[in-house]
Structure 1
């Protein structure tokens, strides 16, 4: 998982939270969680405001509060006043979860119907644009995964924006695309895809992925969902069209972890559910900077510099 730094309250309490581009809101482990390692103590913050509490859900009690939230680390803090937070009495894989998705009446937690954090920041004049950019490095080592830029396009790591594309569905970052090609396999069918930089794979209909696997020389598990391929195999590029623009995931983005006992590597495609949306995760996110624009409900793409 990808994690980012946030601080909450006055004085700051620092946390490392899981980045989530599909849900909305900031969720944090509260001090009432008896088996959490790192928790938020609202009594130590002079700017904290209690809003409500729920104790009716067994094992998932929560408090809704409001405080100053800083995104990033000093000296590059982005302070956002009046941010709604959910304080949970259950543990997370990290200290909590930062949801940077769209406003919705369902999803993870109980505050997803509040304004997205960057839209809230924009409305208060904190940022010039209610957007954020995710840049992921091709080769991730030692936890050095990439950069997230709050409030604008990352001009340091990313080139000019190729295009912005309006969302096909407003509840998530879902785009329409078509014109798949992968070596000798191609089809022109229309599809939709969930674009999620925090996912690790590209997922698609099992029948399509199986045809692509034949071209790649990939072998599947017993459920024909996950595949592996010889690490030295020369793989074709995966291409498709979004809004009249062609995008490509080249071969060096398609290989994952190497098998400990053979020269086989994960193939970063897997069969999801037939006739359901695709998921464009890590291989696509490492190929293109992704500009998430919750205010205008659209996505933009740019080539990382040096490509």
Structure 2
């Protein structure tokens, strides 16, 4: 799949569901946005905002008019998921933005969110754009147990705060699918492997493992990953989630071991940036910066745990 492609999700029994490769960080098959074409059409996550025009074109390709989009559903407010929300809300005047209560103030005034993102992503900020503020009256707060009615489909909200306290996942029972946010890791279609995601400053291993249990209980046929794409798991959902739990635990252990060995956090960050195995998939820049981000998140978690 290439940047700008919008495809129908045909995994399992999915219908009315599409996904777009947004070209996030200048990398194909890294950032996905989902579109549900229903009585109340919806977008799940919005991407980083940099290639926002691609999302607008995708909505047009699917046949969703400017006045028809009703729901912008955000799994969480990290800018790789919510950076385009303000642009989308401005262009689609009848769409409300659904977000966890912790995120509302940051969408109304993104200044602290931007500052935190710059601190977390380092040189990757060059791939971002400044997000547009969203008027308070356009925001709808959602928490676990809430349901967003789209017509044939609904999005059932489940809390998943391990990656970030404002993260939720959306269950779509009609499609037997879950929009997993970052609670199930990063799915890499090119190598068919799951990789860790552990950014600062709120990564919490124990809560991430609890989120894996939440997803197990939902037992969907299809995982819709923002990073990247739909994945049919069928009866193997538990196995896929156990694999991710193992990836996370081994990743945290590796960082903790290297921290004890080097006794210098920046040296630990540089070690994992140099040791990344993802260069052939994401390119040298993205793979190195991804490793730095995830290492810093684990180091912060280890510091807090101590």
**Fold agreement, TM-score > 0.5:** no
In our comparison, the structure showing a higher alpha carbon Rg is 1
**TM-score, length of structure 2 as denominator length:** 0.32
**TM-score, length of structure 1 as denominator length:** 0.32
For CA contacts below 8 A with separation 6 or more, give which structure has more relative contact order: 1
More helix by share: 2
More strand by share: 1
